[in-house]
Amino acid sequence: MLDPVLLRGQLAETAARLKATRGYELDVAAIERLESERKQLQGRTQELQNLRNTRSKAIGQAKAKGEDVAPLMAEVAAIGDELKVSELRLEVLRSDIDAIAQGVPNIPHPSVPVGKDEGDNVELKKVGTPRTFDFEVRDHIALGERHRWLDAEAGAKLSGSRFTVIRGQLARLHRALAQFMLDLHTSQHGYTEVNTPLLVNADSMLGTGQLPKFEEDLFSTTVGDSKRYLIPTSEVSLTNLVRDEIVDDAHMPMLMTAHTPCFRAEAGSGGKDVRGMIRQHQFEKVELVAIARPDESYEVHEKMTLAAEAVLEKLGLPYRRLLLCTGDMGFGATKTHDLEVWLPGQGMYREISSISNCEAFQARRMQARWRNPATGKPEPVHTLNGSGVAVGRALVAVMENYQNADGSITVPDVLRPYMGGLERIA
């Protein structure tokens, strides 16, 4: 969430920035009303606490003198009753203010272009030249169905729409991609591999901003009285490792990676990409997460982007880097780079990775801090996350870019050690 200072001391300015950049209407009147009552009630609560303490001491003194303490005890009881009411109301007010704050998006970094949607994103660079084919290009659906490598009907039978069964050598290629990415990030980019839970509690989802705003996009399960959520990305479990922690400065920046299944209900996707593997309810990603000092987070953001780009470059896949505008950026991000890979079957670039700096937005929700050696005091860390990269979409890109006229797929050089030396699958 935003720095409370912005919602208290700079409310009008913050509302104006959110309106200008995000198109978000902050309910200033509601916050002012709640804050006014909170301040007044907090002052009265402290006054009552001091008064009760003073009168309680007076009871002890009166008893020592043998005086009648009944009037004082009645006064203390009355103070206690009012104090209890005040504390309960104060708790409600704080909860109401927190509920508003949790729904407020992050403020974009000044370098982020202001825009309404993806049409206002800025292309920063383009790498690689799309291949020219001397035969009719097939998309990944046609290539997969031809060999029964991809079986949407089986997925639908088992689970419903937007689930796919992957078979044979294509399943092996999918596994090879994930292993290649993990090896690259751990051996060359300094990331520590972490095996994380796929089910997390509500506090974890709240910490990274999935709750309460995006609950309709989440899968959940309840056993007894315990409700848990299937992770939409291992960003949730990786980032929450520092929830309620004070990280040692010597361990910063913390760089973590994980390969996990991810689960997303895609409730608001409007039927886009229903067929194929572009938008599934269950998919796999190799995630990158960084916990950084505030003064180094944008340097870390650039390095994370380069790490994701290295995956595409080593696979020989044409791609481009975009700087997302304010209207296309995620709820918790201050700045986001999208990597889009060229898909010949669609004749267009499609997102394969999104790398975001959230600054202290998630850290405040999680109470994730580090001890600043300059001051000796705990301060919020900066959190960053990104795909390094989406495994299913990388599989789609390899299939379409490395397809041959006979429907076989040439295996990229960097994946052949993971494929037992196979040069192509057919």
| Residue 153: burial class (beta carbons within 10 Å; 0-12, 13-18, 19+) | exposed
Contacts for 214-223: CB closer than 8 Å, 24+ residues apart = 214/331, 216/265, 216/267, 216/268, 217/264, 217/265, 217/266, 217/267, 217/268, 218/263, 218/264, 218/265, 219/263, 219/264, 219/265, 219/281
User: Taking a C-beta distance cutoff of 8 angstroms, is the pair 42, 50 a contact?
Assistant: no
Query: Which of 37, 75, 351, 379 is the catalytic position?
Result: 351
Mark whether 354 is an active-site residue.
yes
Q: Is 297 annotated as a binding residue?
A: no
What secondary structure does DSSP assign to 109-157, as a single string? PTTSPP-SSGGG-EEEEEES-PPPPSS----HHHHHHHTTSEEHHHHHH
Residues 6+ apart with CB under 8 A from 168: 147, 148, 149, 425
Q: Is 20 annotated as a binding residue?
A: no
Question: Does residue 33 sit in helix, strand or coil?
Answer: helix
- CB count, 10 Å around CB of 86? 18
Mark whether 167 is an active-site residue.
no
Query: Which of 204, 356, 393, 400 is the catalytic position?
Result: 393
User: Taking a C-beta distance cutoff of 8 angstroms, is the pair 350, 130 a contact?
Assistant: no
Mark whether 356 is an active-site residue.
no
Residue 276's pLDDT is 83
| Residues pairing with 194 in the sheet | none
Q: Is 266 annotated as a binding residue?
A: yes
Q: Give the global pTM.
A: 0.92
Which part of the chain is CATH 1.10.287.40? 27-103
Q: Is 86 annotated as a binding residue?
A: no
Mark whether 52 is an active-site residue.
no
Residue 271's pLDDT is 54
Query: Which of 86, 237, 297, 354 is the catalytic position?
Result: 354
pLDDT values of the chain reduced to their tens digit, one per residue, 426 residues: 999 999 989 999 999 999 999 999 999 999 999 999 999 999 999 999 999 999 999 999 999 999 999 999 999 999 999 999 999 999 999 999 999 999 999 999 999 999 999 999 999 999 999 999 999 999 999 999 988 999 999 999 999 999 999 999 999 999 999 999 999 999 999 999 999 999 999 999 999 999 998 999 999 999 999 999 999 999 999 999 999 999 999 999 999 999 999 999 865 455 556 678 998 999 999 999 999 999 999 999 999 999 999 999 999 999 999 999 999 999 999 999 999 999 999 999 999 999 999 999 999 999 999 999 999 999 999 999 999 999 999 999 999 999 999 999 999 999 999 999 999 999
Residue 272's pLDDT is 56
Among 360, 327, 355, 328, CA closest to 339? 355
Statement: 118-425 belongs to CATH 3.30.930.10:
yes
Helix, strand, coil percentages (3-state) for the chain, rounded to 5, are 45, 20, 35
Residues 6+ apart with CB under 8 A from 300: 253, 290, 292, 357, 382, 384
Mark whether 264 is an active-site residue.
yes
Query: Which of 55, 146, 279, 416 is the catalytic position?
Result: 279
Which part of the chain is CATH 3.30.930.10? 118-425
Residue 275's pLDDT is 76
Cis before residue 389, ω within 30 degrees of 0? Answer: yes
User: Taking a C-beta distance cutoff of 8 angstroms, is the pair 92, 355 a contact?
Assistant: no
Residues 6+ apart with CB under 8 A from 10: none
Among 407, 401, 416, 390, CA closest to 316? 401
Q: What is the CATH T-level fold of the domain 27-103, as seen in this structure? A: Helix Hairpins (1.10.287)
Q: Quick one: residue 224, left, alpha or beta (phi over 0 = left, psi -120 to 50 = alpha)?
A: left
| Residue 90: burial class (beta carbons within 10 Å; 0-12, 13-18, 19+) | middle
What secondary structure does DSSP assign to 167-216, as a single string? -HHHHHHHHHHHHHHHHHHHHHS-PEE----SEE-HHHHHHTT-TTTTGG
Q: Is 408 annotated as a binding residue?
A: no
Query: Which of 38, 172, 228, 264 is the catalytic position?
Result: 264
Residue 147's pLDDT is 87
Q: Is 390 annotated as a binding residue?
A: no
